[in-house]
Amino acid sequence: MTKTKILIRGALALALAGALMTAVLAAPAQTPDPTPQTMLARTPPMGWNSWNHFHCGDSESLVEAQAKAMVASGMKAAGYEYINIDDCWQGKRGPHGNIHPNSRFPNMKAMGDYIHSLGLKFGIYSSPGPKTCAGYEGSYGHEAQDARTYASWGVDYLKYDWCSAREVYKPDQMQAAYEKMHQALVATGRPIVYSLCQYGLQRVWSWGPSVGANLWRTTDDISDHYDRMILIGQEQNGLGRFAGPGHWNDPDMLEIGNGGMRPEEEETHMSLWCLLSAPLIAGNDLTKMTPQTLAILTNPDVIAVDQDPAGNEGYRVWQEGPLQIWMKVMADRSRVVGLFNLGFSPEPITVNFGQIGVGSTEQVRDLWERKDLGTFHGSYTATVPGHGVVLVRITDN
3-state SS assignment for residue 217: strand
Specify whether the CB–CB gap between 247 and 34 falls below 8 A.
Answer: no
Cβ-based neighbour number of residue 18 at 10 Å = 13
Residues paired with residue 90 on neighbouring β-strands, in sequence order: 101
Instruction: End-to-end CA distance of the chain: give it in Å, rounded.
Output: 42
Q: Strand 347-352 relative to strand 379-384: parallel, antiparallel, unpaired? A: antiparallel
For residue 244, the 8-state DSSP code is B
132: region left, alpha or beta (phi > 0 left; psi from -120 to 50 alpha): beta
Query: What is the amino acid identity at position 60?
Result: E
Catalytic residues: 161, 221
Return d(Cα 204, Cα 172) in angstroms, integer: 12
190 to 140, 153, 154, 300, 390: CA distances (angstroms): 21, 11, 8, 31, 42
Return d(Cα 213, Cα 150) in angstroms, integer: 17
Helix ranges (DSSP H) in the chain: 3-26, 51-54, 60-72, 75-78, 108-117, 143-153, 174-188, 226-234, 263-275, 291-298, 300-306
Specify whether the CB–CB gap between 196 and 160 falls below 8 A.
Answer: yes
Closest by CA to 382, choosing from 321, 344, 342, 339, is 339
Helix ranges (DSSP H) in 249-363: 263-275, 291-298, 300-306
